[in-house]
Amino acid sequence: MSSTNTILTQLTTTPKEKPTVEQLGFGKHFTDHMFMMDYTIEQGWHNARIIPYQPISLDPSAMIFHYGQSVFEGMKAYKTPAGDVQLFRPERNFKRLNISNDRLCIPAIDEQFALDALKQLLSIDKDWIPSEPGTSLYIRPYTFATEPFLGVAPAKSYHFIIIMSPVGAYYSEGINPVKILVEKQYVRAVVGGTGEAKTGGNYANGLKAQEIASKEGYSQILWLDGKENRYIEEVGSMNIFFKINGKVITPALNGSILAGITRDSMLHLLKSKNIDVEERRITIDEVVQAYEEGILEEAFGTGTAAVISPIGQLKWQDTELTVNDGQIGEVTQMLYDTLTGIQNGTVEDSFGWIVKL
């Protein structure tokens, strides 16, 4: 589709009441409007529109209900102390959406057009962006198969939608390091599968292990690779970093790990602070050994929702590893403060990451 495609706009006549900051939570409230466009073989992506937030009606045979052909993105808009609205590396999200689309055989979107559409939607619903410290507007672009057909093949029709949810401070009571269970039995993804794509099946797959871990008192799963069950891949739905003997290590992207935008930003921040950083394969055995040698200094997950989630404890088989006495580490705290500062406009962006509305 052409970037000059116009977006039909239909404003709501019944605006909703906005939640108070106490009511916010995560992903529960949605703004007054949504962006939507449709794909057909004949017309490509078309019928771009901003409309009141409303239910989607689908045939019971719509392929999304049966064959999982869906991808999504997650990003945030922030209101700066000066009242500006800004996005963080949004072009990376739309680029990754198309990488996911390609893996799932979903037709590509025009990334620039999607970003323009998001900006229009944001300008209409900008009063929904909360301004209290730590709050933001979570943005969810997603694509899914709509064709009414029970057959295993790429669909011939799709929706692309953007919805937005004002969200509260992820750490309303301060950042508390979490307890993580290293998973032996279940596997999130394997090379040759969809681990690199942001598609529903990866998340559905992870629910079972998460449910078991929760019952045992752990916040999240640390996932090992699917081939040898010893290389560290991700934690929950975040990328993972370790600080061992002064050096920061994160698993190299291998085809089964999601290429996190927060992960990439952390790598840039670390380099800019002259902290040694390595992207490479790392086994759980190496982490245990570092712990036993007393050089496992910090561990944390990274992702859009929480930005950073410090790991206070890891359990692998019968071994309990307490990291940094269960306290947030110095580098973890610095990365969190710097990145959230850039995102909310209180720290200067020397990387060119911020896109103002």
Contact status, residue 159 vs residue 186, Cβ threshold 8 Å: no
Select from 31, 93, 199, 265 the one that contacts a second copy (CB under 8 A). Answer: 199
Contact status, residue 135 vs residue 166, Cβ threshold 8 Å: yes
User: Does position 82 bind a second copy by CB under 8 A?
Assistant: no
Select from 1, 7, 21, 58 the one that contacts a second copy (CB under 8 A). Answer: 58
Looking at residues 206 to 225 of the shown chain, list those that interact with a second copy (rule: CB under 8 A). 206-208, 210-211
CB of 214 to a second copy, least distance (A): 9
Give 169 or 190: the residue with its C-beta nearer to a second copy.
Answer: 190
Select from 72, 88, 113, 160 the one that contacts a second copy (CB under 8 A). Answer: 72
User: Does position 108 bind a second copy by CB under 8 A?
Assistant: no
CA–CA separation, 290 and 347 (whole Å): 34
Give 205 or 313: the residue with its C-beta nearer to a second copy.
Answer: 205
CA–CA separation, 302 and 309 (whole Å): 6
CB of 329 to a second copy, least distance (A): 25
Contacts of 6 (CB under 8 A, 6+ apart): 48
Query: Taken in order 328, 329, 332, 336, is the CA torsion positive or negative?
Result: positive
Select from 65, 119, 259, 326 the one that contacts a second copy (CB under 8 A). Answer: 65
CA–CA separation, 304 and 298 (whole Å): 20
CA–CA separation, 141 and 334 (whole Å): 30
CA 82 to chain centre: 27
Per-residue interface string for the shown chain with a second copy, residues 224-253, x marking contact by CB under 8 A: --xxxx------xx----------------
Three-state secondary structure call for residue 151: coil
Contacts of 72 (CB under 8 A, 6+ apart): 97, 100, 140, 141, 142, 143, 198, 199, 200
Q: Give the side-chain half-sphere CA count within 13 A for 165.
A: 16
CB of 45 to a second copy, least distance (A): 18
Which element (helix H / strand E) includes 181? strand 178-182
Among the candidate windows 76-84, 85-93, 191-199, 342-350, which touches a second copy by CB under 8 A? 191-199
Contacts of 227 (CB under 8 A, 6+ apart): 190, 191
Give 141 or 329: the residue with its C-beta nearer to a second copy.
Answer: 141
User: Does position 203 bind a second copy by CB under 8 A?
Assistant: yes
Looking at residues 118 to 147 of the shown chain, list those that interact with a second copy (rule: CB under 8 A). 138, 140, 142, 144
For residue 29, give both structure tokens: 């409230």
Give 170 or 333: the residue with its C-beta nearer to a second copy.
Answer: 170
Contact status, residue 86 vs residue 177, Cβ threshold 8 Å: no
Give 30 or 327: the residue with its C-beta nearer to a second copy.
Answer: 30
CB of 53 to a second copy, least distance (A): 7
> How many C-beta atoms surround the C-beta of residue 187 within 10 A?
20
Select from 19, 52, 201, 326 the one that contacts a second copy (CB under 8 A). Answer: 201
What is Dmax (Cα atoms) for the chain? 64
Among the candidate windows 58-66, 114-122, 239-247, 270-278, which touches a second copy by CB under 8 A? 58-66
Q: How many residues bind a second copy (CB under 8 A)?
A: 67
User: Does position 41 bind a second copy by CB under 8 A?
Assistant: no
Q: Which positions lie near a second copy, rule CB under 8 A?
A: 26-28, 30, 34, 53-62, 64-70, 72, 103-105, 138, 140, 142, 144, 149-154, 161, 163, 165, 185-194, 199-208, 210-211, 226-229, 236-237
